[in-house]
Amino acid sequence: MRGLALGILGASVAVLATASAFLLLASLGGVPVTSDPIPQTDPSAPGSPGPALVLKLPQDRLEELKMGPDQRLAVDVENGDDEELPIVNLALVVASENTTRPGTRYYWATTENVAPKEVATVEFEIDLSPPTPDENSEVGPRAVLPEDREMLEVRATTPGGASAIKTAVLTP
């Protein structure tokens, strides 16, 4: 019974930690700040420590993808830190660049116990087929331009706050 209580307590703490990490992440990149200007230059941060989490989307794997269902995409997650990462959460979003087009697809995965400097490979099975037209959706004539590009956005995060992101843009 004591074990069960401890387990539930541990799970709760993990949930809260994960939630906090994502809230922090969202606050870093997702606050609608109307007063912030669009900067003119690209400020770099020389001398900053290397990333604790490194995400890799190898080009050759992306090029093997076909615009259809049941596509497999392997994503590499490298632990750049000196300590083991107990858990790394990954989110993959597949969408068209057309903001009126429905059919954005979300995928999630986790990988555990990634040793320092180790690379873990996580495989997603994704659907890259065009979304079926939804008669009830607000889709205008702009929805079917052949020049529209597809996007795969992958985010990796840890409960400790480390994160990495890659966006692959696929031309038709």
Which residues in the 137-166 window bind other proteins by CB under 8 A? 138-143, 145, 147-149, 151, 153, 155, 165-166
Interface residue with other proteins among 72, 84, 100, 118 (CB under 8 A) is 100
Dist. CA 150–CA 76, nearest whole Å? 21
Q: Cβ(55)–Cβ(75) under 8 Å?
A: yes
Kindly identify the residues of this chain, within the stretch 21-40, that bind other proteins according to CB under 8 A: 22-23, 25-26, 28-40
Rule CB under 8 A: say whether 128 interacts with other proteins: no
Confirm if 117 and 79 have CB atoms less than 8 A apart. Answer: yes
| Residue in the block written with tokens 């997702």 | 30
Which residue, 81 or 156, has its beta carbon nearer to other proteins? 156
* CB 74 to other proteins: min, Å: 14
The piece of 54-62, 66-74, 75-83, 120-128 that touches other proteins (CB under 8 A) is 54-62
Query: Which CB sits closer to other proteins, 81 or 90?
Result: 90
Q: Is 66 in the site for other proteins (CB under 8 A)?
A: no
- Which of 20/115 has CB closer to other proteins? 20
Among candidates 155, 79, 158, 161, which has minimal Cα distance to 114? 79
Residue 151, burial from CB neighbour count under 10 angstroms (0-12, 13-18, 19+): middle
CA 49, CA 61: separation in Å to the nearest integer? 29
